[in-house]
């Protein structure tokens, strides 16, 4: 029986591509996303056409009980060895006055609260089996709050601390928690593409993308695979990923009155 990998947030970017990678690696992959059944089915078919094993679920993870039910159902097939948590809270940059209460709350529910619930649902079995892995797709907003990022940064920052608390409790029970900071633009039509609009995104793909200046989800997936299979004597909790041509978030370009 194949080990099970559950991808929460299997869009066409990181989530779906990590799903494919784990399928190629021999996992039975359970893909969940909120909408676009057609895209989800296509993703499942692509995996199966390569000889892989996958199933897709449309769920609204924010809905009470939804993620718990998905995890329960998935576990019935076999123990979940890897959870790829790929939900974000990015709604674009907007001033405080233009960030509604609903948006702020939704960001937290989606990015932070769903992880808490997913962990509560999945941990008992993982602990019982003495092994498991959570790969959490994070972003720069978990490390610093930029202007206009109130909802997203609050959600990401909270989730990073949650990951640390989860690791502090469950690492020594054999569960590998990894918080992966994606620090740069990802070649992902469903997320970045939607936010930028198709023309801008196509242009970005042509220019930055043409010289590997966009994070390639397939390359990200290779690192996810590596981290998930690190031997337990040498686990990584946190790592960053960015294109070679991108300055890390902590840097800025030299200036005359540089903060130095």
Name residues contacting a copy of itself, limited to 53-92 (CB under 8 A): 90
Which one of residues 35, 120, 128, 129 is an interface residue with a copy of itself (CB under 8 A)? 120
Nearer to a copy of itself, 28 or 152 (CB): 152
Q: For residue 168, what is the enclosing H or E element?
A: helix 150-170
Nearer to a copy of itself, 78 or 248 (CB): 248
Binding range to a copy of itself, per CB under 8 A, among 35-43, 50-58, 73-81, 110-118:
110-118
Interacting residue with a copy of itself among 30, 158, 188, 190 (CB under 8 A): 158
256 near a copy of itself, rule: CB under 8 A: yes
Is residue 251 within 8 Å of 140, Cβ to Cβ? no
Of positions 37, 45, 72, 232, contacts a copy of itself by CB under 8 A: 232
Nearest approach, Cβ of 96 to a copy of itself (angstroms)?
6
What character string, x for contact with a copy of itself (CB under 8 A) and - otherwise, covers 159-198?
A: xxxxxxxxxxxxxx-x-x------xxx------x---x--
Interface with a copy of itself: number of residues (CB under 8 A): 101
23: left (phi over 0), alpha (psi -120 to 50) or beta: alpha
Query: Candidates 27-35, 36-44, 52-60, 233-241 — which segment interacts with a copy of itself by CB under 8 A?
Result: 233-241
Question: What Å distances lie between residue 68 and 90, 148, 244, CA to CA?
Answer: 23, 32, 39
Rounded Cα–Cα distance for residues 35 and 119 (Å): 23
Nearer of residues 33 and 152 to a copy of itself, judged by Cβ? 152
CA dihedral of residues 113, 165, 173, 68 (deg, nearest 10): -10
Query: Are the C-beta atoms of 227 and 245 separated by less than 8 Å?
Result: no
Phi-psi region of 84 (alpha: psi -120 to 50; beta: other; left: phi over 0): beta
User: Exposed e or buried b for every residue in 170-191, given b needs 16+ CB within 10 A?
Assistant: beeeebbbbbbbbbbbbbbbbb
Asked if 104 and 116 count as a contact pair (C-beta separation under 8 A), the reply is no
Asked whether position 97 contacts a copy of itself by CB under 8 A, the answer is yes
Given candidates 140, 188, 193, 228, which one binds a copy of itself under the rule CB under 8 A?
140
- With CB under 8 A as the contact rule, the residue among 1, 38, 51, 259 that binds a copy of itself is 259
CB of 225 to a copy of itself, least distance (A): 9
């Amino acid at each position: 029986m194949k080990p099970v990998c559950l991808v929460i947030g299997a869009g066409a970017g990181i989530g779906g591509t990590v799903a494919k990678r784990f399928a190629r690696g021999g996992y039975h992959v359970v893909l969940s996303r909120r909408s676009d059944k057609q895209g989800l089915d296509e993703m499942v078919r692509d995996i199966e056409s390569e000889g892989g094993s996958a199933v897709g679920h449309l769920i609204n993870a924010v809905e009470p009980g939804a993620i718990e039910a998905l995890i329960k159902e998935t576990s019935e097939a076999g123990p979940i060895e890897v959870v790829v948590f790929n939900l974000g809270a990015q709604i674009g940059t907007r001033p405080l006055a233009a960030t509604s209460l609903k948006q702020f709350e939704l960001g937290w529910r989606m990015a932070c609260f769903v992880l808490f619930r997913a962990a509560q649902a999945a941990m008992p079995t993982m602990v019982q089996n003495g092994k498991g892995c959570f790969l959490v797709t994070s972003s720069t907003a978990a490390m610093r709050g930029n202007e206009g990022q109130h909802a997203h940064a609050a959600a990401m920052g909270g989730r990073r601390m949650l990951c640390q608390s989860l690791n502090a409790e469950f690492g020594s029970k054999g569960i590998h928690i990894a918080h992966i900071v994606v620090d740069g633009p990802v070649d992902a039509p469903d997320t970045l593409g939607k936010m930028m609009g198709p023309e801008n995104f196509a242009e970005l793909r042509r220019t930055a993308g043409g010289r590997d200046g966009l994070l390639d989800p397939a390359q990200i997936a290779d690192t996810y695979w590596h981290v998930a299979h690190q031997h337990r004597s040498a686990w990584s909790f946190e790592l960053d990923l960015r294109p070679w041509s991108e300055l890390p978030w902590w840097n800025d370009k030299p200036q005359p009155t540089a903060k130095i």
